[in-house]
Structure 1
Amino acid sequence: MFKLNLKIALRNLWKNKGITAINVGGLAIALAAFILLMMYATYETSFDKENPNYDRIYAVGIAYPEFKTNYVAAPFAKAIKQNFPEVELAGLVKGSSFELVIKNGKNTIFTNNILQADYHAAKILNIQPNGGLQKPSGDAQRLTYLSEENMRVLFPNKNDHKPEMVGFGASNSGITGIIDGSIKKNVQSNFNFDGISIGNEFGGSDNYDMNDYTIYLQVKPETDVIKLSQKITDLYRAELLKSSGSKKTIDEVKGIATFLDPLSNLHLRPKAGNNGPYKVLIALSILGVLMLVIACINFTNLSIAQAAKRAKEVGIKKVLGAYRFQLTIQFLLEIFMQCMTATILALILAELVLPSFNNLFQVKLAIWSFGNDLLLQLPLIVCIITVVAGTYPALVLAGFKPALVLKGNFSTSKQSSWLRSGLLIFQFSIAVVFIIGLFIINSQLKYMQNEDLGFTPNQVVYIKNISFFNQPVKFEPVRDKILKVPGVQSATVASFIPDGKASGINNYTANGISANIDFVDVDFDYFETLDIKLREGRFFTGDFKTDTANSAIINESAVAKYGLKNPIGKIIRGCEINYKIVGVIKDFKSQGFENSVQPTIYMIKDPCSNFKTQIMLKVDRRQMASALATLKAKWPEINPLDGEDFRYEFLDELYGKLFKKQEQLQSVFFAAAILTIFIAGLGLFAFAKYITNGRMKEIAIRKILGATDLQVLKLINTSFFVMVVIANLLSWPLAYILTKKWLKTFAYSIDIPMMPFILSTLITIVLTLFTVSLQARKAAKANPVDALKHE
């Protein structure tokens, strides 16, 4: 019996090749998109899961009244371990602040991120160098490991784990060090690095003002993390009050709390960061599921549309003794075969699209990789799709009454008609949401690209550098040499560049108000190089000796933060210095559009500073190529510590990376909108075909009574037009709520325009009229005799 049913299924599928191709093709496309998006979701939610203590690791953060941060003072790690027995390990990690050049003869690498970690942190984070994790023998010893890729570049013929001597900086710098071995990089980790330096212990002093480390804790099983977090807060407040370096009052300390951020949060939704990536991932996951649902709806409608052609077969089989259950199983078998075919095609499509997908999201996903759970889950997904998309059509086909269908009555119930209409409206509602979302994402991205940033990153060259220029007198000879290069208009150095990354934060007091605000340590010509606008006062200049001692410039947000009226000449105190405000600059979006402009102070002298290493040059566009070539040739003379290793990036390109997530989302929504419109169009085609076939007699009679082709087209199009309008009206509130929620992730965003809603309606109406008219035209042109002759 199975063999017979299989033959019948294959014959029927082959007989209706066009409909089968549409059915299988639509499902394959949706399933391919679902596979890619689910693989990406699995990848993003699997960071650091290889760590055996994944569920017991937390980062310690500090919550100030104005912001949250994961940067903490180093001695606090030891204090936590000493006071709380439920903490098994407490470790410290610190990232590098500049690109480091490492050489072995002519072999050179440029490392962007050499992590510093104590031995306890290395154990917590499961950092395993090749040859095993070793504990440094003393407080002074540091064990340094480079990634396997970097070690292969430096030592192409190395086959052991023995230490090697390398040079740092320029070839003639004379700075050397030992690399103790290699370590495998885990790209699917929050702790991705070019190399790591492991020390026995960090943070010997009791200074709680220098918050430049991240503390990680490994707690014992069954620990009450909420209670532990409160106890850590109490300890931190006590340590601040007794710290010799801290000058905070009791009232200030009461406004400070700590929190524990699980390792599982750090990649997508850190408490001290932006959870935008998590929201985007949720949106992409829902998008993948909805596309599959739409394809299933389309599959269902198209299968029911073919019911009339199978009605007589069902009637004859029932007359010959077939049970409804047997017929249902037969039709489910046909649908399962189509789903299996669609799955195979989906895997092929996904494999073909995967390189572009990986390039878009900057990942390295592989469908056929070992341990890919999706391949194991696909058979279950196919069975679910078969049941969801095939059960109702199978029951409809198996439920035909023999006496009626053999007379030519193939109509289904009104309940079926309402269900199919509802499914079609649902399909188009989702498609409309995607179309509106695409238009609004595109509008926000255009706004971000065209909006005035408050500074000009164009023509600014950022030069990577390892020399420290904390004092203007050290950078002055370098600036003089740089300015002699034709095309270079200005040069400056600072502790941070406006590329979207957060700057340093410290406590400053003005107008009787104490607050934590951002700080940037700069040199002369910083504001002129970036074309930052002055609101009042003046910029730093060598004409005033006090500018290198105790002058400061603040932005408009800082003026508002401290409630300063006539701020020029007022005092703002921080780092044991009374700074005199000499200028106020207009706010500029140094951290992009997702974060609001922070109150910021700019100084030349700062005892609490980070190192000034970020060199920026303003270069004439017409002489850009020649200027860069000259700088490269003369760099050993200009900046001997960097020597022959001249590296640069364009600031506008660095800033443009802030738009990457939105550009990814735009690309995905564009693809999703096209696919959902295509799949919804297939569903519309199926439903139009079904309705038209069911009304052939009616159309024939109307034509005999004198109806024109235009009247027939209007008759069939009217009901579909109404359904699409209803779909738009239902989707508008949902689209508005979802896009409004997405726009709230930006500090600076557009107001939701009306045009996307109007355009989505026009697009879906035109698509509907075109698709339905293709079927209606066939019915209008058909000979009425063919529809009525069997009567």
Structure 2
Amino acid sequence: ILLIACINFMNLSTARSATRAKEVGIRRVSGAGQALLVRQFLGESLIMSALAGIIAVGIVEAALPAFNRLFSLELSFDLLSLKVWLAIIGIIVSAGLLAGSYPAFFLARFQPVDVFKGVVNTGKGAFWFRKGMVTAQFAISTFLIISTLVIYRQMEHVRNKNLGYQKENLVYFRADGAIPEHYDVLKAELQELPAVEAVSSSTGLVYSWGNNTSGVSWPGKDPDKDILFQTIPIGFDFLETIGATLVDGRDLSRANPADSSNFLINETAAALMGLDKPVGQRITVSGTEGEVVGLVKDFQVTSLHNNQDPVILGIGQSIRYLYLRLNTDDIQQALANIGAVVGRHNPGYPFEFSFVDQEYEKMYRSEQRVSALSRLFAFISIFVSCLGLFGLAAFTAEQRNKEVSIRKVLGASVAQLSALLSGEFLQLVLLGFALAIPIAWYLMHSWLEDFASHVGLEWWVFGLSGLLAALIALGTVSFHAIRAAVKNPADALRSE
């Protein structure tokens, strides 16, 4: 954004160089050398940058608390810190020198003889420089639009992804204190509550498991091949509670004593084992042999940054978390009733619960923050680019005023004249779009590759971004283009 603002300053300074040509000529005649003029113009740029920096410090100081709340950040801005002021001064000086360097050298090279003759040739270099800078501006802006759309689509994909279980209305809490020894009684009492549909337990978090083992064997296993499986110790009724789907076979049941050492496996585990019909097969997990009694549809037990894990579920000997499936519209009252039941069995500990869907979203907090910030920065960059384009369009319309008047006298319509003035800028925007495409594709492809489950880079995302950039630019320059086209040609040609 700062780079775009610097480009704006350079563009407008070089575009309006003719207005300062006489000043440069007089200073040169008065004995000022080129080096002195360069220092003067750089000094002006630095003063402007310093004033902008002072205003920016005030804005940051006032807006930072709201910014932190909006984006869940904890940024600080200590105006008593020497490091902070050194950074501010460094940014001010860098921006001033960057923005003022080209205009300073450009203006300082004007020759007094040419200036006083009224011949101020800005040269093709300045012309192409301005075109290049406008192109660069909209390449950056278009890249940010593409990035914003891709990141937003990916975060929507993460939010709406079918995880293989129902994360909504799924509550869990830690099995602290006396809960493990009172588990069976507590479970029975909780299931009697009208708002509670199912209750179960596990030793880990369903959305973020981390219990890998390669100590698994099955019929036909290659002894030289080790595969990591997620082993999940659970309580009875776990699938019903989390809302996972049984594809084949049956669930583990308290009514079957052998199920204390039997297993459920998911589709990925069955595929890696090479078992077409896994139900009924006997496997060994960490030294415990048992029968596979059910095949579970794949469900995500880690972040979407990771591939689908092969999962083996078995009845655990310990309890760390209790899960409850709620079926009510009055969540607060349901939680109060649950807390009362838990409190009777575990009076020494507060009832602290969490919702699985909320904790799942927290896993992607950094990506959500990037998504929100990208939208903000894209908006600001486009706004700043349009400010520069608006000023440049005004100058161009002024410079071509007589040309437009002559064309109008010769029969050109307002639409034709508007297209003539707008077309030049539109070409630059489209060129910037073309430059942004490969950069955006490469960087966004790299970012998406960090997710095992991600959206594709669809062509319409790039097309929509280019269309938005073109429409925004067209809307910006059209004001001055139409204004110049509807002017009375006599006003411009009266002195000719």
TM-score under structure 1 length normalisation:
0.59
Shift of 1:743: 0.9
Range 461-470 or range 662-671, more displaced = 461-470
- 1:487 matched to 2:195? The reply is yes
Q: Is the 8 A contact 1:294 1:680 kept in 2?
A: yes
Structure 1 pair 327–613 and aligned structure 2 pair: CA distance change class (3 A): same
Match of 1:573 in 2: 284
Shift of 1:436: 0.8
- 1:523 matched to 2:228? The reply is no
- 1:694 matched to 2:399? The reply is yes
Residue type at the aligned position of 1:591: T
Structure 1 pair 295–435 and aligned structure 2 pair: CA distance change class (3 A): same
3-state secondary structure, aligned to 2:197: strand
Counterparts of 1:759 and 1:571, CA distance in 2: 55
Match of 1:768 in 2: 473
1:139-218 equivalences in 2 (<5 Å)? none
Structure 1 pair 788–429 and aligned structure 2 pair: CA distance change class (3 A): same
- 1:613 matched to 2:320? The reply is yes
Q: Is the 8 A contact 2:71 2:372 kept in 1?
A: no
Residue type at the aligned position of 1:552: F
Structure 1 pair 443–573 and aligned structure 2 pair: CA distance change class (3 A): same
Counterparts of 2:142 and 2:84, CA distance in 1: 29
Of 632, 636, 653, the residue aligned with 2:358 is 653
Counterparts of 1:626 and 1:479, CA distance in 2: 18
Structure 1 pair 715–361 and aligned structure 2 pair: CA distance change class (3 A): closer
Counterparts of 1:423 and 1:622, CA distance in 2: 57
Counterparts of 2:469 and 2:118, CA distance in 1: 35
Q: Which protein is richer in helix relative to its size?
A: 2
Residue type at the aligned position of 1:485: L
Q: Is the 8 A contact 2:189 2:341 kept in 1?
A: no
Q: Is the 8 A contact 2:328 2:334 kept in 1?
A: no
Of 167, 171, 181, the residue aligned with 1:461 is 171
Structure 1 pair 392–502 and aligned structure 2 pair: CA distance change class (3 A): same
Of 342, 353, 357, the residue aligned with 1:635 is 342
Structure 1 pair 623–424 and aligned structure 2 pair: CA distance change class (3 A): closer
Q: Is the 8 A contact 2:177 2:349 kept in 1?
A: no
Range 559-568 or range 683-692, more displaced = 683-692
Counterparts of 1:665 and 1:743, CA distance in 2: 13
3-state secondary structure, aligned to 1:710: helix
- 1:729 matched to 2:443? The reply is no
3-state secondary structure, aligned to 1:496: coil
Q: Is the 8 A contact 1:433 1:735 kept in 2?
A: yes
Unpaired stretches in structure 1, ≥5 consecutive residues: 1-290
Q: Which protein is richer in strand relative to its size?
A: 1
Residue type at the aligned position of 1:577: T
Of 67, 78, 82, the residue aligned with 1:368 is 78
Structure 1 pair 510–361 and aligned structure 2 pair: CA distance change class (3 A): farther
Counterparts of 1:318 and 1:363, CA distance in 2: 53
Q: Is the 8 A contact 1:486 1:623 kept in 2?
A: no
Give the length in aligned residue pairs: 492
Of 24, 38, 41, the residue aligned with 1:328 is 38
Deviations 1:296-344 (A, max 9, x none): 1111112223322212222233333332222222221211111001111
Counterparts of 1:771 and 1:515, CA distance in 2: 59
Residue type at the aligned position of 2:210: A
Shift of 1:705: 3.6
Match of 2:128 in 1: 418
Counterparts of 2:208 and 2:64, CA distance in 1: 30
Greater RCO (Cα-Cα under 8 Å, separation 6 or more): 2
- Give the aligned CA root-mean-square deviation in angstroms: 2.3
Range 364-373 or range 420-429, more displaced = 364-373
Shift of 1:370: 5.6
Identity %: 32
Counterparts of 1:379 and 1:756, CA distance in 2: 39
Structure 1 pair 353–415 and aligned structure 2 pair: CA distance change class (3 A): same
Match of 1:241 in 2: none
Q: Is the 8 A contact 2:448 2:454 kept in 1?
A: yes
3-state secondary structure, aligned to 2:113: helix
Counterparts of 1:389 and 1:660, CA distance in 2: 36
Counterparts of 1:789 and 1:422, CA distance in 2: 35
Match of 1:502 in 2: 210
Shift of 1:688: 1.9
Q: Is the 8 A contact 2:281 2:292 kept in 1?
A: yes
Of 543, 550, 554, the residue aligned with 2:265 is 554
Q: Is the 8 A contact 1:301 1:686 kept in 2?
A: no
1:226-625 equivalences in 2 (<5 Å)? 291-360=1-70, 362-368=72-78, 371=81, 373-467=83-177, 475-505=183-213, 507-511=215-219, 512-513=221-222, 514-548=226-260, 550-605=261-316, 611-625=318-332
Deviations 1:701-750 (A, max 9, x none): 33344433333212211211111111111211211111111111101011
3-state secondary structure, aligned to 1:602: strand
Deviations 1:402-457 (A, max 9, x none): 33333444441111111110111111011101101111111111222222110001
Counterparts of 2:341 and 2:483, CA distance in 1: 77
Structure 1 pair 487–381 and aligned structure 2 pair: CA distance change class (3 A): closer
Deviations 1:225-249 (A, max 9, x none): xxxxxxxxxxxxxxxxxxxxxxxxx
Counterparts of 1:402 and 1:699, CA distance in 2: 31
Shift of 1:653: 1.1
3-state secondary structure, aligned to 1:737: helix
Shift of 1:392: 1.0
3-state secondary structure, aligned to 1:406: helix
Counterparts of 2:424 and 2:233, CA distance in 1: 68
3-state secondary structure, aligned to 2:324: strand
Residue type at the aligned position of 1:475: Y
Residue type at the aligned position of 2:450: T
Counterparts of 2:330 and 2:424, CA distance in 1: 65
Structure 1 pair 314–790 and aligned structure 2 pair: CA distance change class (3 A): farther
Q: Is the 8 A contact 2:169 2:327 kept in 1?
A: yes
Unpaired stretches in structure 2, ≥5 consecutive residues: none
TM-score under structure 2 length normalisation:
0.92
3-state secondary structure, aligned to 1:485: coil
Counterparts of 1:474 and 1:313, CA distance in 2: 90
Residue type at the aligned position of 2:59: L
